[in-house]
Amino acid sequence: MRLREIFRFEFLYQARRVRTWLYFAVLLVVAYMTVKNNSIDEARNNLQLANSPYVIAAATVICNMLWVLMASAVAGSAAARDLQTRMHPLIYTAPVTKTDYLGGRFLAAFAINAMILLAAPIGVVLALTVPPVEAQILGPSRPDAYLTTYILMALPTAFAVGALQFSLATLMRRSVASYLASVLLFVAVSIGAGAIANLWQMPSLGKVLDPIGFITVIGLISKSWTPLEKNTLLIGLQPEMLMKAVLWIAIGFVLLALTHRVFRFGDVAVKTRRSRRAAPRDAQAPA
Amino acid sequence: MELNIRGVSKTYSNGVQALKDVTLTIPAGMYGLLGPNGAGKSTLMRILATLQEPDRGSVRLGDVDVLNQKDEVRKTLGYLPQEFGVYPKVTAEDLLDHFAVLEGIAERAARREVVEALLKRTNLWDVRKQKLGGYSGGMRQRFGVAVALLGNPRLMIVDEPTAGLDPAERVRFLNLLSELGESSVVLLSTHIVEDVSELCTRMAIINAGEILFEGEPLRAVEDLRGRIWRRTIPTDTLPELERQHAVISTKLYAGKTVAHVYSESSPGPDFEEVKPDLEDVYFSAMAGRIGRRHEQKVEVHA
């Protein structure tokens, strides 16, 4: 019951913030523009369909990438707002377990992020319908392409990246730590997965290790798939993508479990040996 | 229900010893913890409120081990910290309702009743729809009181609660506390002697992490009768007076210094006897004339 209440309160708190809808709007515009400016032109000039599963996946991973860099505050503030507003003494002394508290907060951030990432499929649909594009470049409508892309690509990304952002912000006790998590992930992915896939010629491993899907879709599939494949195959159902989803969801769970273990309802930061040494000698002890 | 604190010590990583072997027995009712700023009051309060770990010692609330059964304690704990914030973008009513659910008041109608009653008792009913970001310091303090009172806590810990309140708010708040003190353990830390003299049936005086005195305010004042003497002197002769007598406190009055001196018999013809008050108890304890430090000294001499 308490987990549900913490989830409800956090979800509403963030859903009422302008910031949340700004992220949504940015992704909506980006998805819309991507399809309008690139996919439709490409469809007119060659055999690729404007509403192919590939187009949907490409718009999704572009939005995923942008979301990683832009929206880290969603998980960050869910994790650290109590400390940053200094409300933590009130909530840490309430009869709430760690599982309720961390679980409710993380799930609320995940739900908000899932909502923000819905902007990608909605943007694609809008690009194809407002104003409508000519019927010649459209294939049959594929709800399964939207669904598999969202559920098997966008949501696992939101879960794994969100878990990393949330864990770092919880353990470092500040919201900006989630941004650090995003940047680290971004750099590691673009260099790491890109290098594995392209330099060392192991595209399958690169695809599995790329949590955002950007390298996979924009860097690899865009070049290696034929128009027919792009028009028909569901990227989210490719073995590497399923493995990727499983791997990163598992990594997300491990991070959350570790955070749950280390976290304490305490007033003072978890003291490591380093922070102890770093404490200035003349610092005033709290009265 | 009784709160038992045994041998609690805490040293911060920068070497400051905040608490030295603190032992106190706190029965139901209002209990005052009096001491200057930096005496270790807040550290002790945070330990009792499950937010901090002592290095040594034990704390029990009835049958509950406070240091190791934190979840149990939190079910019956109300804590008003010295310093706290609130989410700025939420109304008082919504946030208090949230805390009420966390407190375990699941049923909607019952919760609405509790929230309404507390908002009225803390005089926030008219501003319940306002965002907390727009609250003044005193209003925020009263909101904290409402949160702390949720669920009728059996252990209530209030840390320097009257510091930010205006006189009317202070009276109102102290009344709220004394109502609760009829059935629960209410521990009030303060550096204001009046807070204790007006409310508390028992008290302790703490300084530099050590308990200097524990007892009943009325008894303590009574015991001091005939031992506090006053003399008005020019300010520049104070050092001389301090050399000859046990000056416990000084006050300025019309440009002259009024010194209070502790002495078991008349210190001289220039002194007049004063009817002691709790402030004299406080300063006598701080000066080591009464209380635990004094008893230790007496033991050593005997």
pLDDT tens profile A188-215: 877 888 788 777 888 888 888 888 888 8
Please answer whether residues B161 and B80 qualify as being in contact, where contact means their C-beta atoms are separated by less than 8 angstroms: yes
Check residue A265 and report its DSSP letter.
Answer: -
Residue A261 in this model has a pLDDT that exceeds 60: yes
| Residue among B276, B271, B260 nearest B223 (CA) | B276
Q: Answer yes or no: do A280 and B14 touch at CB < 8 A.
A: yes
Pull the structure tokens for residue A149.
């892309």
- The residue whose two tokens read 């807070």 is B195
Nearest Cα of chain A lies from the Cα of B195 at a distance, in angstroms, of 19
Question: What integer pLDDT is reported at residue B13 of this predicted model?
Answer: 87
Question: What integer pLDDT is reported at residue A279 of this predicted model?
Answer: 39
Separation in Å, CA A156 to CA A56, A149, A170, A256 = 16, 10, 21, 14
- From chain A, pick out residues whose CB is under 8 angstroms from the CB of B102: 2, 5-6, 91, 94-96
Residue A60 in this model has a pLDDT that exceeds 60: yes
CA–CA dist B82, A286 (Å, integer) = 11
CA–CA dist B288, B293 (Å, integer) = 6
Enter the CATH code of domain B2-215: 3.40.50.300
- From chain B, pick out residues whose CB is under 8 angstroms from the CB of A283: 14
More confident call, A276 vs B257: B257
- From chain B, pick out residues whose CB is under 8 angstroms from the CB of A5: 98, 101-102
| Averaged pLDDT of chain A | 88
What is the amino acid identity at position A174?
A: R
Residue A167 in this model has a pLDDT that exceeds 60: yes
Phi-psi region of A12 (alpha: psi -120 to 50; beta: other; left: phi over 0): alpha
| Residue among B42, B107, B103 nearest B76 (CA) | B103
Phi, psi values for residue B13, rounded to 5°: -65, -20
- The strand pair at B29-34 and B202-207 is best described as parallel
**Across B257-268, average pLDDT:** 92
Mind listing the pLDDT tens digit for each residue in B107-165?
A: 999 999 999 999 998 889 999 999 999 998 888 988 999 999 998 899 999 998 877 77
Chain A residue with CA closest to B91: the answer is A13
Pull the structure tokens for residue A244.
């990727």
What is the amino acid identity at position A221?
A: I
Residue A135 in this model has a pLDDT that exceeds 80: yes
Nearest Cα of chain B lies from the Cα of A26 at a distance, in angstroms, of 23
C-alpha distance across the termini of chain B, in Å:
38
CA–CA dist A256, A270 (Å, integer) = 17
Separation in Å, CA B54 to CA A9, A75, B38, B45, B167 = 33, 32, 17, 11, 35
Per domain, the residue ranges of chain A are: 2-132+139-266
Q: Answer yes or no: do B84 and A86 touch at CB < 8 A.
A: yes
Helix (H) or strand (E) holding A109: helix A98-117
**Across A76-89, average pLDDT:** 95
| Residue among B299, B153, B280, B129 nearest B205 (CA) | B280
> What strands, in cross-sheet order, belong to the sheet with B272-273?
B247-253, B256-262, B228-233, B272-273
* A226-240, A250-264, B51-65: least confidently modelled range: A226-240
Name residues whose C-beta falls within 8 Å of residue B277's C-beta, 6 or more positions apart in sequence: B197, B221
Q: Could you give the percent of chain B with pLDDT greater than 70? A: 99
Residue A284 in this model has a pLDDT that exceeds 50: no
Question: What integer pLDDT is reported at residue A272 of this predicted model?
Answer: 35
What residues 14-73 of chain A have any CB closer than 8 A to a CB of chain B? Answer: 16-17
Chain B residue with CA closest to A78: the answer is B87
Q: Answer yes or no: do B84 and A95 touch at CB < 8 A.
A: no
> Which long-range contacts (C-beta less than 8 Å, at least 24 apart) are formed by A14-18?
A14/A74, A14/A77, A14/A78, A14/A108, A14/A109, A14/A112, A15/A112, A15/A115, A16/B89, A17/B89
CA–CA dist A135, B78 (Å, integer) = 67
Residue B298 in this model has a pLDDT that exceeds 80: no
Q: Answer yes or no: do A268 and B52 touch at CB < 8 A.
A: yes
Question: What integer pLDDT is reported at residue A7 of this predicted model?
Answer: 98
Question: What integer pLDDT is reported at residue A46 of this predicted model?
Answer: 80
CA–CA dist A170, A162 (Å, integer) = 12
Q: State pTM to two decimals.
A: 0.89
**Across B80-98, average pLDDT:** 95
Pull the structure tokens for residue A253.
């769970």
| Residue among A74, A71, A87, A179 nearest B88 (CA) | A87
> For chain A, what is the largest distance between any 2 Cα atoms, rounded to a whole number of angstroms?
75
Q: Answer yes or no: do A97 and B49 touch at CB < 8 A.
A: no
Mind listing the pLDDT tens digit for each residue in B164-184?
A: 778 888 888 888 888 888 889
More confident call, B179 vs B44: B44
Closest by Cβ to A89, choosing from B40, B43, B51: B51
Name residues whose C-beta falls within 8 Å of residue A22's C-beta, 6 or more positions apart in sequence: none
Find residue B214's DSSP bridge partners.
B204
- From chain B, pick out residues whose CB is under 8 angstroms from the CB of A175: none
Mind listing the pLDDT tens digit for each residue in A12-46?
A: 999 999 999 999 999 999 999 999 988 888 888 88
Please answer whether residues A33 and A62 qualify as being in contact, where contact means their C-beta atoms are separated by less than 8 angstroms: no
Please answer whether residues A79 and A169 qualify as being in contact, where contact means their C-beta atoms are separated by less than 8 angstroms: yes
Around Cβ B263, how many Cβ atoms within 10 Å? Answer: 17
Does the predicted interface ipTM exceed a cut of 0.85?
yes
Nearest Cα of chain B lies from the Cα of A12 at a distance, in angstroms, of 10
Whether chain B has a CB inside 8 Å of the CB on A223: the answer is: no
What residues 238-277 of chain A have any CB closer than 8 A to a CB of chain B? Answer: 265-268, 271, 276
Pull the structure tokens for residue B96.
């208090």
Question: What integer pLDDT is reported at residue B132 of this predicted model?
Answer: 96
Q: Answer yes or no: do B74 and A95 touch at CB < 8 A.
A: yes
Residue A278 in this model has a pLDDT that exceeds 50: no
Question: What integer pLDDT is reported at residue B250 of this predicted model?
Answer: 92
Tell which of A90, A99, A101, A281 to mutate to test the B interface (max B CBs under 10 Å).
A90
- From chain A, pick out residues whose CB is under 8 angstroms from the CB of B14: 279-283, 285
Residue B294 sits at the vertex; the CA angle it makes with B28 and B292, to the nearest 5 degrees, is 25
Q: Where in chain B is the domain with CATH 3.40.50.300?
A: 2-215
Pull the structure tokens for residue A199.
């330099």
Pull the structure tokens for residue B198.
């007006």
